[in-house]
Amino acid sequence: MENRKIVILTGAGMSAESGISTFRDSDGLWEHYPVQQVASIEGYEENPELVLNFYNARRKELLNVKPNHGHLMVAALEKYFNVTVITQNVDNLHERAGSSHVIHLHGELMKATSTRNPNDPSCIEELTPERCEIHLGDKAADGSQLRPYIVWFGESVPKFEEAVNEASTADIFIIIGTSMQVYPAAGLIRYIRPDTQVYLIDPKEVKVYSSQRVHTIRKGASEGMDELLKILLNC
Ligand code: OAD
């Protein structure tokens, strides 16, 4: 293994080939569920039951899908490089594919936390396939209503500083399957060093605001990762 450091920023497109809908593509999740209702702190305060049910359904969906070839290739990079994955995805497909260092910027679907103290580690608990639903009346360790461990619009992103530390020490920065429209995640690229190589895998054109040259691979995550692996391993 060489000691070059790779940091990979992933979004919903990473899991698309596993069968999980993206958010902003046509027929994406936000076309069917108003984002303000199901993914904002105001939406949760207004109608907690609707939001709990939305994430209960997302969790059931997650239990029925598997990591795709792209996830496996991201994990395979660890054979050759020092790799950190920073994901906006709340699924656990990177971990299930074998990635060992994953930072979840927007939370984790298979965890629950307290409505009163969502970022208090003593209130964060794992959900299991057998107990994967949260209902009104379920209590967190501090006695308040249990809620999904998801960072909603209108909330702070507690893992952002850790992600910045990773991005700023990357030799190679790879962006996969994100429309780069949601901040602060999309702003991570501003923290990379001027000599960091940047690659982007996405079947559609994505605008990236960076002074660095971005090597774009206009393909889906699986095919794109195969191509990138060849480039990175010079074969
Ligand atoms: P988007 O839905 O905004 O973008 C998905 C990206 O994936 C687009 O650029 C697609 O072209 C691309 N894509 C589609 N199929 C792909 C494939 N097979 N392989 C690779 N790429 C593909 O999703 P995100 O950018 O992840 O936050 O959205 C960011 C955040 O907005 C999410 O984490 C979520 C959402 O609101 C919260 O819910 C807090």
pLDDT in tens, 136-189: 999 999 999 999 999 999 999 999 999 999 999 999 999 999 999 999 999 999
pLDDT for 2 equals: 72
Give the CATH number, domain containing residue 10.
3.40.50.1220
Task: Judge if 41 and 82 occupy the same domain.
Answer: no
Task: Judge if 223 and 132 occupy the same domain.
Answer: no
23 alpha carbon – ligand 1 mean position (Å): 6
Full residue range of the structural domain in which residue 136 is found: 21-64+107-150
pLDDT for 210 equals: 85
Q: Is any ligand 1 atom within 6 A of the Cβ of residue 114?
A: no
Count CB neighbours of 223 within 10 A.
16
Q: Does residue 209 have a pLDDT over 90?
A: no
pLDDT, tens only, 93-131? 999 999 999 999 999 999 999 999 999 999 999 999 999
Q: What is the mean pLDDT of residues 203-218?
A: 94
Q: To which H or E segment does residue 166 belong?
A: helix 160-167
- State residue 63 phi and psi, 5-degree precision: -65, -15
Task: Judge if 222 and 128 occupy the same domain.
Answer: no
Q: Is any ligand 1 atom within 6 A of the Cβ of residue 113?
A: no
pTM of the model: 0.97
Q: How many helical (H) and strand (E) elements, i.e. helices and strands, does the chain have?
A: 9, 9
Task: Judge if 130 and 197 occupy the same domain.
Answer: no
Task: Judge if 52 and 143 occupy the same domain.
Answer: yes
Task: Judge if 31 and 122 occupy the same domain.
Answer: yes
pLDDT for 1 equals: 63
Boundary (domain end) residue, out of 150, 175, 204 = 150
Catalytically active residues are: 106
Task: Judge if 125 and 56 occupy the same domain.
Answer: yes
Boundary (domain end) residue, out of 150, 177, 204 = 150
Give the CATH number, domain containing residue 138.
3.30.1600.10
Q: Is any ligand 1 atom within 6 A of the Cβ of residue 177?
A: yes
Task: Judge if 136 and 221 occupy the same domain.
Answer: no
**Domains: count for the chain:** 2
- Look at ligand 1, atom 31, and give the residue with the nearest C-alpha: 182
Q: Is any ligand 1 atom within 6 A of the Cβ of residue 134?
A: no
- Look at ligand 1, atom 22, and give the residue with the nearest C-alpha: 13
142 alpha carbon – ligand 1 mean position (Å): 34
pLDDT for 235 equals: 65
14 alpha carbon – ligand 1 mean position (Å): 8
Tokens of residue 135, six digits = 């209902």
pLDDT, tens only, 13-67? 999 999 999 999 888 888 888 889 999 999 999 999 999 999 999 999 999 999 9
Boundary (domain end) residue, out of 128, 150, 172 = 150
Sign of CA dihedral 180, 182, 186, 187: positive
Q: Is any ligand 1 atom within 6 A of the Cβ of residue 39?
A: yes
Task: Judge if 201 and 224 occupy the same domain.
Answer: yes
CB-based contact 142:120 (threshold 8 Å): yes
Task: Judge if 88 and 177 occupy the same domain.
Answer: yes
CB burial readout 81-108, b (16+ within 10 A) else e: bbbbbbbbbbbbbbbbbebeebbbbbbb
Task: Judge if 53 and 169 occupy the same domain.
Answer: no
Task: Judge if 102 and 137 occupy the same domain.
Answer: no
pLDDT for 29 equals: 84
Distance CA 14, CA 148 (A): 22
